[in-house]
Amino acid sequence: MSEQEIERFTKDLASDEDLRSAAAEAVSDLPAIVAIAKANGYDFTLEELETFQSRQSAEMSDEDLEKVSAGAFVDRIP
Amino acid sequence: MVANDRQMASRSRHDALRGSPRSQIAHVKRFYERFVSDPKFRSALSDASPAGPSEHAREITRQYGIEIDPWAIAPLWSAGLKTSFETAELEGFPALKRWKDYSGLQLDALRSRREFDHADWASSCFAQWRQRQINRVESELGTAGGIANRFPVIAMELSDGCSVGCWFCGVSASRYAGSFPYTQHNAGMWRQVLATVVEQIGKPAREGFCYWASDPLDNPDYERFASDYLDIVGALPPITTAVPLRDVSRTRDLLAWRKRAGSGHDRFSILTVKILDRVHKEFTAEELIDVECVPQTRGSLLVKTQTGKLYGHENTAGSQPGSHATDKPRTIACVAGFLVNMVKGEVRLVSPCRARDEWPDGYIVHRQGRFETAEDFSHVIRSMIDQVMDVSLIPRSVVRLRADLRMEMLPQGVQLRSPGTLHKLGRSRDVAMLAHELARGPQRHQDIMASVMKAGANCFAVSRTIQDLFERGLLSDHPDDINGVGSFA
């Protein structure tokens, strides 16, 4: 249930500008993120979020990677 | 010239006849110093043995007062200087093996003194900041890039400038302008400053030392200051001096004191072959077994680092006959912490870096401050720890990769390449999205997060990756960036 809640929260961040703005400002402050989520009706704990964060994110397919940068080199990091 | 059976038989006899293993190690070391520093010695050995082993080479070595059969250590020199060996190459050369083993133990001991327990630190912020600098330096230079480094946390100068004026000085020492005398007032202040160092840094301050762009022996009261350091900090600081012959009995007493205190690894900078002649005459090989004689002579085989006075002198090897400057990006700076000058009342927070136009002396100055009293000193140190040594990025931090990193987005994943190291970040979708954001240029932390959230990324994984990049020293560590006042240019 909690994982679904975190995924729901993550999905809504993409479409809800106010929620995204509040969460982006909290950045890596996970307790603050949990508080923002709770205030907006999402139900997960700090411990559950930490477990979620520690999981490996999915491998990107070659297609995905090529979409992002087409195998580019970035010679100068601005 | 290579060793043959006759040589090996001779060697074995020689090894059996000559002095104790410790004495043997000391004389192999002395041979090495002579060979590296003195082109005439190298030439004489070569001329004496044009077609193979000869008694002449032994005679020449004896003339230099070196009590080792050169053929007993032939792999070290007979085909040109060689100091790295496979185990099999040392078979039949026990004296050489002993010296290599002894040198390896010394290096291991030095490296082991780089690590501290968490409980040793008075400030965990300082511990984390130093580790981040170590990560960055090793990324910039590679772990083999001249960094057999303990990353000491403090160096305290007791003089302003250096009386020696080496033309190659890697930290651009200025001309000697005076010392900090051990007056009653200064001694009281020094002891309070040391107490502050212990209070705010902790046990790692034991690995500190009392020189930088200066020579410890320029201060006539050096021993009294060092005694206080031992008393308050808990260790007798090591010395590196280019004037070991200025007062031989003083030097000898200092080395003996260091030995009694259980300390090791002091250094003499050997500037000329004549100085080497005198050092080898005044001190026995056994006396200097734990003193590194750094061969800085003009004909030295030692590769000089192009920092400080040699920075930007690409043709230095040509303009200084016999010198061997290198174009590899290196530094001789070691301190990741505080440089304190007691004469000028100056504190700088520094860390080593690849020498570049902005930092030609091979170290970054993160902050600097002044002090007139011990109380000032305490305040300056505290404020530098508080203002610079952040352990994580804040929402308004400017996130940008280090300027020397080149990002490569390849089918096998995202990687960052520095002149010294390749960092593989993986090929997850979230890493690729972050890479895309980083490639767009410097952005505030919170803006990157908003972008990846909008794109539907796992923002928690991205957040963790940004923190990981920060801790690995791959992001700009400029305090203005971390504090969110950095520019986006």
Instruction: Check whether B276 has a pLDDT greater than 90.
Output: yes
pLDDT digits (tens, 9 = 90+) for A10-57: 999 999 999 999 999 998 788 999 999 999 999 999 999 988 877 655
Q: Which of residues 50-89 of B touch A (CB under 8 A)?
A: none
Distance from CA of B467 to the nearest CA of A (A): 8
pLDDT at B193: 98
Q: Are strands B406-410 and B398-399 parallel, antiparallel or unpaired?
A: unpaired
CA atoms within 13 A on the CB side of B395: 14
Q: Which residues contact B33 (CB under 8 A, 6 or more apart)?
A: B270, B276, B280, B293, B295
Question: Considering only B257-261, B402-406, B429-433, which range has the smallest mean pLDDT?
Answer: B429-433
- Does B392 contact A at CB distance below 8 Å? yes
Q: Are strands B291-295 and B266-270 parallel, antiparallel or unpaired?
A: parallel
pLDDT at A69: 42
Instruction: Check whether B348 has a pLDDT greater than 80.
Output: yes
DSSP B336-358: SEEEEETTTTEEEEEEE----SS
B351, two tokens: 């860390």
Instruction: Find out whether A25 and B470 touch, Cβ atoms under 8 Å.
Output: no
pLDDT at B280: 97
Contact assignment for A77 to B401 by CB distance below 8 Å: yes
pLDDT at B88: 94
Distance from CA of A62 to the nearest CA of B (A): 6
Instruction: Find out whether B164 and B243 touch, Cβ atoms under 8 Å.
Output: yes
Q: What is the mean pLDDT of residues B349-367?
A: 93
Instruction: Check whether B186 has a pLDDT greater than 60.
Output: yes
Residue with the larger pLDDT of the pair B11 and B293? B293
pLDDT at B32: 97
Contact assignment for B439 to A69 by CB distance below 8 Å: yes
pLDDT at B6: 42
Contact assignment for A77 to B392 by CB distance below 8 Å: no
- Does B412 contact A at CB distance below 8 Å? no
pLDDT digits (tens, 9 = 90+) for B392-407: 898 999 999 998 899 9
- Does A39 contact B at CB distance below 8 Å? no
- Does A77 contact B at CB distance below 8 Å? yes
The mean pLDDT value of chain B amounts to 88
Chain A residues with beta carbon closer than 8 angstroms to that of B390: none
Contact assignment for B453 to A74 by CB distance below 8 Å: no
For a pLDDT cut of 70, what percent of chain B falls above it?
90
Give the model's confidence band at B487: pLDDT under 50 very low, under 70 low, under 90 confident, else very high.
Answer: confident
Instruction: Check whether B3 has a pLDDT greater than 80.
Output: no
Instruction: Find out whether B205 and B153 touch, Cβ atoms under 8 Å.
Output: yes
pLDDT at B73: 95
B114-150 burial: b if 16+ Cβ within 10 Å, else e: bebeeeebbbeebbbbbebbbbbbbbbbbeebbbebb
pLDDT at B54: 77
For residue B142, the SS3 value is: coil
Closest CA to B409 of B392, B389, B431, B391: B431
Instruction: Check whether B111 has a pLDDT greater than 80.
Output: no
* Bridge partner list, B413: B410
For residue B177, the SS3 value is: coil
d(CA B200, CA B209): 17
**Total-model pTM:** 0.86
Q: What is the mean pLDDT of residues B357-378?
A: 95
Give the model's confidence band at B11: pLDDT under 50 very low, under 70 low, under 90 confident, else very high.
Answer: very low
Give the model's confidence band at B481: pLDDT under 50 very low, under 70 low, under 90 confident, else very high.
Answer: confident
pLDDT at B458: 85
Whole-angstrom CA distances from B218 to A69, B159, B236, B272, B376 are 58, 7, 18, 19, 26
Instruction: Check whether A78 has a pLDDT greater than 50.
Output: no
Question: Rg (Cα) of chain A, in Å, rounded?
Answer: 16
pLDDT at B326: 52
Chain B residues with beta carbon closer than 8 angstroms to that of A36: none
Q: What is the mean pLDDT of residues B80-93?
A: 93
Distance from CA of B365 to the nearest CA of A (A): 22
Give the model's confidence band at B4: pLDDT under 50 very low, under 70 low, under 90 confident, else very high.
Answer: very low
Q: Of A13, A25, A78, which has the smallest distance from its Cβ to B441's Cβ?
A: A78
pLDDT digits (tens, 9 = 90+) for B27-45: 999 999 999 999 999 999 8
pLDDT digits (tens, 9 = 90+) for B239-257: 999 999 999 999 999 999 9
